[in-house]
Structure 1
Amino acid sequence: MNKFLRHATRLSAVALCSAALCTLPAMAQGRGMMTPEQRQAQFDEMAKAIDLTPDQIAKVKAIQEETMKKMMELRESGGDPSEMRPKMMAINGDQTTKIKALLTDAQKPKYDAYLASRPQRGPGGPPPPPQ
């Protein structure tokens, strides 16, 4: 009987750890975070929608990585969510401004249309693109 309890305890621990690991991606998505595959798919969709050149692709990826780093730092600071929202919106607005600066005049309306087609997030959604 003692051997059975030891094995049952180990099996329960393994099952619990497995369940916890399986829920991490779902928890991340619940907080608005995307998996690397989802980010890449979204990037590919944007690049196609606005006809980015290979040079622009590299620059936009760098801008997005910088934005993601700033967002993670803000989330990890543990501040009040109501105070973080305006800061996150400002970071997103900064990203939009930087990306638009890389685009040609023909690409800018396509980028605006792409942003408008994206689903709104949260009560106020993403910030409007700067003019």
Structure 2
Amino acid sequence: IQVTEVPVNRLEQSGIQFTYNFGVAVYVQANRPRARLAIENTRIVEGKLRFKVANSGNDFAFINGQQLEYQIGDETFRLDRDALTNLVENPIISPNSEREFSLSLDNLIDGTPVKVRLSRADG
């Protein structure tokens, strides 16, 4: 929804008038809404962790409420929800759709095999 406030009265003299223009997202949910997330196409390209998140459910998914875990070789790294929120500009995945994410993380080498997992963050 886009909301715009326009001036009601014209200024008869010099001065400043303020107007506002803002947008609000409105989400309509199905009965028994549930997001179903799956991670696909995980890889390291140009020093960034890239992966797709598919939402096969009937509800919007927000990955900023998740914890991300990625495994390179025998090492496992975790990003808590605050760290993930700082790295993701738009965390919303619509129902029956997929989005690709690209995260700039330290010490990633192109072509290295990597596994990624999302899990619900507590708290």
Same fold (TM over 0.5): no
- Between structures 1 and 2, the one with greater strand share: 2
TM-score by length of 2: 0.28
- Between structures 1 and 2, the one with greater helix share: 1
